[in-house]
Amino acid sequence: MHELGIIVHITRTLQEAAKENQLTQIGSVTLEIGEVSGIVPEFLTDCWEYYRKKFPLIEDSELKIETLPAVTFCENCEKTYPTVQFGKQCPYCQSGSTYLLKGNECNIKEIEAC
């Protein structure tokens, strides 16, 4: 379960941001998670619920998750398409010369202070 490691890293980042901005409490954190990132949102939420009890800074905070769609680019026809629906093969020209443009991210989008 790599979701716990992600939460540990996010918590460290939040602690640094809180120190830089003299925050004592965080109300919510919004994450952007790519749909092919391999991160299971339910597991991430469970880890957040467990881990936030250990840090007063985030103990009353809410975790919000926004899913970013995966998009693939075809090098042959230079079109983009939804990765999850079509996979590696371009639906326009049937080429396999493709690569993922986005959808593998895990970003902190917003931190709401109390």
* Residue-wise DSSP of 14-78: HHHHHHHTT-S-EEEEEEEEETTS---HHHHHHHHHHHGGG-TTTTT-EEEEEEEPPEEEETTT-
Q: What is the mean pLDDT of each run of 10 residues along the chain (114 residues)?
A: 90 94 95 97 96 93 97 98 97 98 96 90
The domain that contains 8 carries what CATH number?
Answer: 3.30.2320.50
Query: H-helix or E-strand containing 80?
Result: strand 80-82
User: pTM value?
Assistant: 0.87
How much is the pLDDT for 114? 78
Q: Is 10 within the bounds of a domain? A: yes
Q: Is 74 within the bounds of a domain? A: no
Q: Is 55 within the bounds of a domain? A: yes
> What DSSP designation does 9 have?
H
Q: Is 28 within the bounds of a domain? A: yes
Greatest C-alpha distance within the chain: 54
Query: H-helix or E-strand containing 8?
Result: helix 3-20
Q: Is 86 within the bounds of a domain? A: no
| Number of folded domains that form the chain | 1
How much is the pLDDT for 1? 56
Q: Is 62 within the bounds of a domain? A: yes
The answer to whether 88 touches 98, Cβ cutoff 8 Å, is yes
Range of the domain at 37: 3-69+103-113
How much is the pLDDT for 2? 87
